Structure 1
Amino acid sequence: MLVDTATAALAGPLVVAGAAKLAAPPDRLDWPIRTGPLRPPWGPRLTGVAEAAAAAAIVAVPGRPAPLVALLAYLALTAVAFGLRGTRCACFGLARLASVGRAHIGVNAAAALVAAVALAAGPGSEPLVRAATGTGAAAVTLAVVVLLDRRARRAERTPAAAPCDRTISGVRMYVTDGCPSCRALKQLLETVEPARREAVVAIPVERGAKLPAPVTGMGVPCAVGVDESGEPVCSPVEGIGAVKALVDGIAVRTSPGARGREDARVR
């Protein structure tokens, strides 16, 4: 019974992740893979089908093949998370989760370890236990994802003013092509006062590339304020609301200082 419970619990996150990818319009997904057979628009669909099929096999297939499927699935997810660290997480479709990092790698690796232990322990043979456990694990996963997504959306809608006593003369903003949040932020910045908008420099970043200091480890869109010499000031920020608040904090000079403002623009 313990083997069945441990094995089936691994199906919960897979079925939620697969269903979320299949339900989300591909053009709205911040999908991190841009080349190869898993590029949009079919990449999210194929990945979602694979995750859903793996979840079904883990619950329905008797004996050792079930934990073997779970082991292979989570080893693959661990490798993918390692390769995509630093990018936006599209693990659960449109849910706004943290950027791919050590937590993603660790959770998937731990799940692979559980699957390996279940595989070594021997075959389970209680389909009802698997079905009940898989359903419960999916419900818990869905609840956690919804909670994290709502928290992230509230944070994006509520600009947090960074505690900074330095004058911000410009903003370096890091964005990625195909990022829905980046597109939304650019549209939002069109409403900003022209003098402030001109002090913002959007720096394109390749998907999967490591961001430079001081925004290393953040997801896009993110930004950092700079002073008149172009040196970073205060703490970098991440997310639509926080970047917009940073841009709103740019010090706008009057006409006599216009030349100084132009000299201070970020290159």
Structure 2
Amino acid sequence: MLADLLVAVLAGPLVASGVAKLAAPTEKLSWPIRRGPLVAPHGPRLIGAAELIGAVLLIVVPGRLAALCGLVAYLALTIVAHALRGQRCACFGLARLASVGHTHVLGNAAGALLAAVALLLGPGSQTASRVVFAAAATALITCVLLVLDHGARTLDAAKEEQIVESMHAVYGVRLYTSESCPSCRALKKLVAGMEPARRDAVAETVLGPHDAPPASMAEMGVPCAQGLDAAGRPVGEPVSGIGSVKGLINSIVVTAHA
């Protein structure tokens, strides 16, 4: 009974992996094989079909022959995982897992070890029990994959959002005011009440009666301002008016600037 359980458990990952490869559009797979007969688009289909055939053999073949099939399959997967270390993982179709590494090699080696144990124990021919165990193993690994995939996609989305935010983050403000402008004087009082790090990130230029803001703000009235990135380059569109300028100053990334 224990040997049948081990053999059936080994079928679970093969079922999940085979179905995932066959169901996924090949053009969306990060397929790591670049040459030979197993390149995309046929490679994923062939390997997926082979995995499903291997899973069926593990369930229906009687006696030690089933364990031997599992041992051969997982030894082959261990060798392939070792050869593809560092490549993008497409083991389970479109699931966003880490690149092929030691975890993949050790996981497949553990499968080969379980198959060797089953071979020594000598499994019987309890096909019905194997089907139940294999289905449970497939469901379990599918749930684990869904959790890992969701976590990876969430992390990727957060990284992309962080990159976008950093591209538009304001680390400083170039402010243009005039001595004769009441709004400018009111804005200066507001800025004076802000925390020192934010005040220090504002570079003010007081325009004289015959001075004008830069060309990008030539049509704007004072106060007007331009946001700057961490390197001091303009970022975003310039703004004018006390409310818009104050909002731009409030958006300065204080901790990064400090």
Bin the TM-score by the shorter chain.
Answer: 0.5 to 0.7
Write out aligned runs for 1:104-183 (5 A).
Answer: 104-159=104-159
Instruction: Tell me: CA distance 1:161–1:18, structure 2 relative to 1, closer, same or farther (3 Å).
Output: closer
Q: Matched residues in 1 for 2:98 and 2:233: separation?
A: 40
Within the alignment, does 1:82 sit opposite 2:82 as a pair?
yes
Matched letter for residue 42 of structure 1:
H
Matched letter for residue 81 of structure 1:
A
Q: Aligned with 1:93: secondary structure?
A: coil
Matched letter for residue 97 of structure 1:
L
Q: Matched residues in 1 for 2:157 and 2:102: separation?
A: 26
Q: Summarize deviations over 1:174-225 as a string: whole Å, max 9, x none.
A: xxxxxxxxxxx9xx9xxx78xxxxxxxxxxxxxxxxxxxxxxxxxxxxxxxx
Within the alignment, does 1:35 sit opposite 2:41 as a pair?
no
Name the structure 1 match of 2:20.
Answer: 20
Name the structure 2 match of 1:53.
Answer: 53
Measure how far apart 1:100 and its partner are: 0.8
Q: Matched residues in 1 for 2:30 and 2:13: separation?
A: 19
Measure how far apart 1:160 and its partner are: 8.1
Q: Matched residues in 2 for 1:151 and 1:115: separation?
A: 31
TM-score, with normalisation over the residues of structure 2?
A: 0.63
**Contact 2:3 2:121 (C-alpha < 8 Å) held by counterparts:** yes
Write out aligned runs for 1:227-266 (5 A).
Answer: 251-254=230-233
Higher helix share: 2
Matched letter for residue 49 of structure 1:
A
Measure how far apart 1:58 and its partner are: 0.3
Measure how far apart 1:159 and its partner are: 2.3
Q: Matched residues in 1 for 2:231 and 2:43: separation?
A: 44
Measure how far apart 1:98 and its partner are: 1.1
Write out aligned runs for 1:166-245 (5 A).
Answer: none
Name the structure 2 match of 1:70.
Answer: 70
Matched letter for residue 41 of structure 1:
P
Name the structure 2 match of 1:263.
Answer: none
Q: Matched residues in 2 for 1:160 and 1:37: separation?
A: 36
Name the structure 2 match of 1:95.
Answer: 95
Name the structure 2 match of 1:245.
Answer: none
Q: Matched residues in 1 for 2:65 and 2:133: separation?
A: 18
Measure how far apart 1:254 and its partner are: 4.0
Name the structure 2 match of 1:260.
Answer: none
Name the structure 2 match of 1:229.
Answer: none
Name the structure 2 match of 1:177.
Answer: none
Measure how far apart 1:161 and its partner are: 9.3
Measure how far apart 1:117 and its partner are: 1.2
Name the structure 2 match of 1:6.
Answer: 6
**Contact 2:61 2:125 (C-alpha < 8 Å) held by counterparts:** no
Q: Matched residues in 2 for 1:127 and 1:71: separation?
A: 19
Measure how far apart 1:123 and its partner are: 3.3
**Matched positions, count:** 172
Matched letter for residue 99 of structure 1:
S
Measure how far apart 1:120 and its partner are: 1.7
Q: Matched residues in 1 for 2:231 and 2:90: separation?
A: 37
Identity in percent? 52
Q: Aligned with 1:159: secondary structure?
A: helix
Q: Matched residues in 2 for 1:253 and 1:34: separation?
A: 44
Matched letter for residue 147 of structure 1:
V
TM-score, with normalisation over the residues of structure 1?
A: 0.61
Measure how far apart 1:19 and its partner are: 0.3
Matched letter for residue 92 of structure 2:
F
Instruction: Tell me: CA distance 1:122–1:254, structure 2 relative to 1, closer, same or farther (3 Å).
Output: closer
